[in-house]
Structure 1
Amino acid sequence: MEIKCKQENEATVVDLIGRIDTNTSADFQKELEEYYTKEGFSLILNFENLDFVSSAGLRVLLLIQKKANALKGKMLIKNVKPEIQEVFEMTGFSGILTIE
């Protein structure tokens, strides 16, 4: 998986390329940690080039969402492919995450 972060106004935009699975989820969590641990953070995750999210990836997304709730931050997920959206819907994550 490849992760590219850039600042756009007050938000950190994260372009994700490849897969978030058991092998990459720890790196994904560690790479974004500096962004989602600050009070009032704003993260935009661009899933345009993301092909797969496993349960390990879902766990990291849930962790970031919980941090957003606790720290008055925001996490927005954009450009979700239908296959990943289906996973979000089947697991109930579509009701937890903000997906555009």
Structure 2
Amino acid sequence: MEIRIDKNDQDVVVSIIGRMDAVTAPDFDQEIEKKISEGEKRFVVDLSQLEYISSAGLRSMLSMAKKLKQNQGTLALCGLKGVVKEVFDVSGFSSIFSICEDVQKARKAL
């Protein structure tokens, strides 16, 4: 899994590339924790290049949302497709998160 972080004056866009599972999810958690501890509060997570997400990856997303809520932050996900979208739909996570079509729309939703 590769994590790309693009920070601007208004928000942080986190792009996840590859597979998010029990092995790689802790890397994501660490990157997000670092950004939140730096005071970042507005996040877009771009999942358009994510090929697979396990329950550990879902747990990381939920943990991120909870941490942001505790810090009066906001989160929007975008780019869900294929197996990843199916996992979010079946698990019920699609109704928990703000999910947008692309990064531009997700930024507006924050």
TM-score (norm. length: structure 2):
0.83
Q: CA deviation at 1:82?
A: 2.8
**Equivalence for 2:108:** none
Residue 37 of structure 1 and its aligned partner are, at CA, apart by: 4.1
Instruction: Please give the alpha-carbon distance, in whole angstroms, between the structure 2 residues aligned to 1:70 and 1:94.
Output: 21
Unmatched segments (≥5 aa) in structure 2: 101-110
- In structure 1, C-alpha distance between the alignment counterparts of 2:68 and 2:96, rounded to whole Å: 12
User: Aligned partners of 1:11, 1:23: CA distance in 2, in Å?
Assistant: 27
Q: Distance in 1 between matches of 2:23 and 2:3?
A: 14
The size of the alignment, in residue pairs, is: 100
**Equivalent runs, 1:1-100 vs 2, <5 Å:** 1-37=1-37, 41-100=41-100
1:48 aligns to what SS in structure 2?
A: coil
Normalising by structure 1, we get a TM-score of 0.90
| Higher normalized strand content (fraction of residues) | 1
Moved over 6 A (4+): none
Unaligned runs of 5+ in 1: none
